[in-house]
């Protein structure tokens, strides 16, 4: 199977974070499931679980000079008010044993949603 040359790696900056979003939302093979409303650090959010199968994934796990493409899953939380992204969780699936990596989980809380919604409602 041919892979894109711009495979995902552990994010180091905003550009890398955007690559995660593209890997989730730019795929026709990503499966989503609505999970309902949840509180996220005091903000009302809508949670969606997703799954990107290994065959459609550009997510590469690397360790000590070895690497492999893996599928991944996780959740996205969006503001129930603005629908802006509030939180992202990425969990690697079926990491090959020979990489010597047991698990890879990335969680990001995005405070931008809470700040922008507070500012748009004004202070009372």
pLDDT of residue 107: 67
Confirm if 74 and 89 have CB atoms less than 8 A apart: yes
Confirm if 106 and 90 have CB atoms less than 8 A apart: yes
* Phi, psi torsion values for 15, nearest 5 degrees: -60, -40
pLDDT of residue 80: 92
- Please give the Cα distance from 108 to 16 (Å, whole number): 13
| pLDDT < 70: residue spans in the chain | 1-17, 105, 107-124
pLDDT of residue 58: 82
- Please give the Cα distance from 16 to 77 (Å, whole number): 19
pLDDT of residue 18: 76
pLDDT of residue 108: 67
- Cα 60 → chain centroid: 14
pLDDT of residue 20: 80
pLDDT of residue 22: 84
pLDDT of residue 88: 87
Sequential DSSP letters for the chain: ----SS-B----SHHHHHHHHHHHHT-SS-EEEEEEEEEETTEEEEEEEEEE-GGG--BEEEETTEEEE--EEEEEEEETTT--EEEEEEEE-S--GGGT----EEEEE-HHHHHHHHHHH---
Domain boundaries, the chain: 14-121
């Amino acid at each position: 199977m041919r892979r894109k040359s711009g495979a995902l790696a552990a994010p180091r900056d905003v550009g890398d974070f955007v690559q995660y979003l593209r890997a989730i939302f730019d795929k026709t093979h990503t499966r989503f499931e609505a999970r309902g409303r949840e509180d996220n650090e005091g903000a009302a959010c809508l949670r969606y679980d997703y799954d990107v199968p290994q065959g459609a994934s550009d997510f590469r796990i690397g360790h000590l000079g070895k690497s492999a493409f893996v599928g991944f899953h996780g959740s996205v939380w969006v503001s129930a008010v603005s629908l802006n992204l509030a939180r992202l969780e990425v969990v690697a699936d079926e990491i090959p044993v020979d990489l010597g990596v047991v698990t890879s989980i990335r969680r990001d809380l995005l405070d931008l949603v809470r700040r922008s919604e507070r500012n748009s409602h004004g202070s009372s």
